[in-house]
Structure 1
């Protein structure tokens, strides 16, 4: 048995645990703990795991809540107590106990230094117990705030760094933590790589190594207590426009050895796809990428391109076209479908994202079977989309994506991009 699971009898420990359990129950809904069933404990285990990374079994939760009787009162280990307190909004169990102490301070008897030193003080000069209690409570609150602020301030100074951000395809990138001030090297952070890799934990001087197989930009977000505090990027560069493809996210098929394609007619044939080892009898995606550093402002540019796409393909009902403008920090994305499939359409300009499954995007209906013109214009963080000469979208965003670092054009099936052009509206620099 874990030495931390059962502690010497100390009612203050168990009172704090009971209060923590009460707050967890309140967070989970109005149902009293006496009415909880297996599905309620399973739901708590799932939510606790998603929020804190700590998954507890039903029996462990029942012991914690006192619903599963044990010879001695069960007191969970520190990692479990930290997770329980984090679930209800505290940094860790120590912070929760500090706040808990202030809630019960009115029950604390004042310390009589007079009796300890045998000094008789007139009764009318003694400080009232209520004043002592209030003063003690204020001291504890201040200590808790200072403790929390100190640790949070240190953590906010921690930055995520990619040691080798620029690479070719494929690329193994190394990420680490860096800070100009000292910080707790036992404090754990998470790094979210979006869809490019699994979320990973990191602390102190440890490093994370990730393998990226596709051309593009990977945005890594550093999380502290599930809150983003910094970002770092890795760039898988190309020499001009190249093509790659795949049937799923686990494999990538470089086409024509990732050799440069004609920018005026970006296209790969079924024969080239077959030579790359791609099974074209299954649904597949072809991606055209041009990834390189630039000085073009990602919040002030114009992009245009003529696109051709297949009408249909066996096993694929909705043939979509996706255009992605990759910046240093974030990206713009436009996913287009024919009218019958606009539920799968989407647009994203920096932090602003709208899904066709949540909002009808009929204006973005686009059929490029015989060719279609797409223009995206972003001017001072105001974005507009023009399809075949008709303005179909206008939106605004707040977070800059930085300099333009690449363009990707994706097709479900075989597609063609003709003369894509992106230039800065102020400097007229062309990508």
Structure 2
């Protein structure tokens, strides 16, 4: 399920009240620090496009490029961001929501200044000593109270056996796909009951304690670890897998994507979205090319992220206007992880980002120059992973090697991203001599 936010819904200006403007700047500073891209003053349009993608990957929320530019002061506007946008920014920065971020900043602001010079203590009078004796006498009582509190808190934990939770897809395969969540949360002490519909713990949908059903629409394929939370405790989990029914081609749009027919984009073993297909759906390459996505989510058997070979061949022959860098991303989607391999025109290798099961690298701090290629021609990408050690090859040349830290997890599919036109062929996985062709 994708939540799309746009720049058209802003409240009247009120950010200067109660220090919210300062808190927003601190939040943006935290985000910039996490990204490691340097000062936002030097960010280009491509940086904001990439930030929109990373924001979506991390939070499940899609903030448009225009919204991000306005928030970072690249575009002038006289309104303040909505609370929904502020909550999304706070989640990206690592907080539950905007309120929690503000409360944390207020606590930091109100803490006493410890930078004062240390003063020489004055002699303690006998009267003062008596107060210290009383203090030390109270320590056993404090410890006993803490132990009693801990026991009481443990007794208040909810019993997961008293809850039930499952998710039923309406369609076996394909998107859009509606999901009906069946739950029983009557054992909750309060009405604080939530369903987490994706992997992001911070994306919560409040549901009634006394009801039993909640429905949602998933517009994109994926593997989601959904959760039932009662009184801030995870009481049940349920894995939800939205498959693609073979290759799926779409263009991202707000609020729902544009789906292309299979017979339009799959011909002679090649998966392709060309200019003619875009024209049929009134999608123009100018002034900004649409974000084209190709998915293949399916059962890969026992294929795991720590030992596999992957190969695909891609092409993006649209290199005009805002797409001069021809950015391409090849994603290997896992049950609890993701691999993102970037490709770009050779002139644009100075602004790439690579993610591999817990490793996150950018060209600001790593040499990713070998991921540059002439993408107007077929470009072969190959990944070889043995015992969590990965080697990545572009057109037969080693582009990068690394060892990733995350635990092995099952591989569930591939996603390939283009701006404008794009084509894919010869995509397959291999493990223990078994080849799975997509």
Describe the SS at the equivalent of 2:348.
Answer: helix
237, 251, 256: which is aligned to 2:256?
251
The equivalent of 1:355 in structure 2 is 362
Structure 2 CA distance, aligned partners of 1:395 and 1:230? 36
Shift of the alpha carbon at 1:375?
0.2
What root-mean-square deviation, in Å, do the aligned CA atoms of Structure 1 and Structure 2 show?
4.6
281, 287, 291: which is aligned to 1:285?
291
Q: How does 1:53-72 map onto structure 2 within 5 Å? A: 53=97, 55=99
The equivalent of 1:391 in structure 2 is 398
Q: How does 1:287-366 map onto structure 2 within 5 Å? A: 287-299=293-305, 300-356=307-363, 359-366=366-373
Structure 2 CA distance, aligned partners of 1:354 and 1:395? 10
Structure 2 CA distance, aligned partners of 1:319 and 1:43? 37
Describe the SS at the equivalent of 2:266.
Answer: coil
> Bigger radius of gyration, 1 or 2?
1
Structure 2 CA distance, aligned partners of 1:226 and 1:342? 44
Q: Structure 2 vs 1, CA of residues 413 and 304 (structure 1 numbering), >3 Å: closer, same or farther?
A: same
Contact preservation (8 Å) 1:240, 1:260: no
Residues 200-219 of structure 1 show CA distances to partners (whole Å, capped at 9, x for unaligned) of 34574665533222344456
Structure 2 CA distance, aligned partners of 1:241 and 1:410? 13
Shift of the alpha carbon at 1:154?
5.8
Shift of the alpha carbon at 1:335?
2.1
Q: Structure 2 vs 1, CA of residues 223 and 188 (structure 1 numbering), >3 Å: closer, same or farther?
A: closer
Residues 400-427 of structure 1 show CA distances to partners (whole Å, capped at 9, x for unaligned) of 4633222122221212212111122365
Instruction: Point out the more displaced range, 145-154 or 315-324.
Output: 145-154
Shift of the alpha carbon at 1:298?
2.6
In the alignment, structure 1 residue 142 sits paired with structure 2 residue 147? yes
Structure 1 CA distance, aligned partners of 2:149 and 2:272? 62
The equivalent of 1:211 in structure 2 is 217
Instruction: Point out the more displaced range, 38-47 or 252-261.
Output: 38-47
Residues 257-287 of structure 1 show CA distances to partners (whole Å, capped at 9, x for unaligned) of 5778247322233222222342333311222
Q: Structure 2 vs 1, CA of residues 44 and 306 (structure 1 numbering), >3 Å: closer, same or farther?
A: closer
Shift of the alpha carbon at 1:129?
6.1
Contact preservation (8 Å) 1:219, 1:330: no
Describe the SS at the equivalent of 1:146.
Answer: helix
In the alignment, structure 1 residue 275 sits paired with structure 2 residue 275? no
Contact preservation (8 Å) 1:52, 1:86: no
Number of residues paired by the alignment? Answer: 330
Describe the SS at the equivalent of 1:402.
Answer: coil
Structure 2 CA distance, aligned partners of 1:222 and 1:213? 21
Shift of the alpha carbon at 1:171?
0.9
Q: Structure 2 vs 1, CA of residues 131 and 194 (structure 1 numbering), >3 Å: closer, same or farther?
A: closer
261, 264, 271: which is aligned to 1:266?
271
Unaligned runs of 5+ in 1: 1-36, 62-82, 89-127
Residues 348-374 of structure 1 show CA distances to partners (whole Å, capped at 9, x for unaligned) of 222322234565532322332222111
Unaligned runs of 5+ in 2: 1-15, 28-85, 109-132
Structure 2 CA distance, aligned partners of 1:184 and 1:346? 45
Instruction: Point out the more displaced range, 417-426 or 297-306.
Output: 417-426
Residues 171-230 of structure 1 show CA distances to partners (whole Å, capped at 9, x for unaligned) of 122446679x965454455737479x9653457466553322234445657789999998
Structure 2 CA distance, aligned partners of 1:396 and 1:231? 30
- What is the TM-score of this pair, normalised by structure 1? 0.61
Structure 1 CA distance, aligned partners of 2:407 and 2:162? 21
Contact preservation (8 Å) 2:251, 2:292: yes
Structure 1 CA distance, aligned partners of 2:20 and 2:427? 54
Instruction: Point out the more displaced range, 148-157 or 168-177.
Output: 148-157
Q: How does 1:146-161 map onto structure 2 within 5 Å? A: 146-150=151-155, 161=166
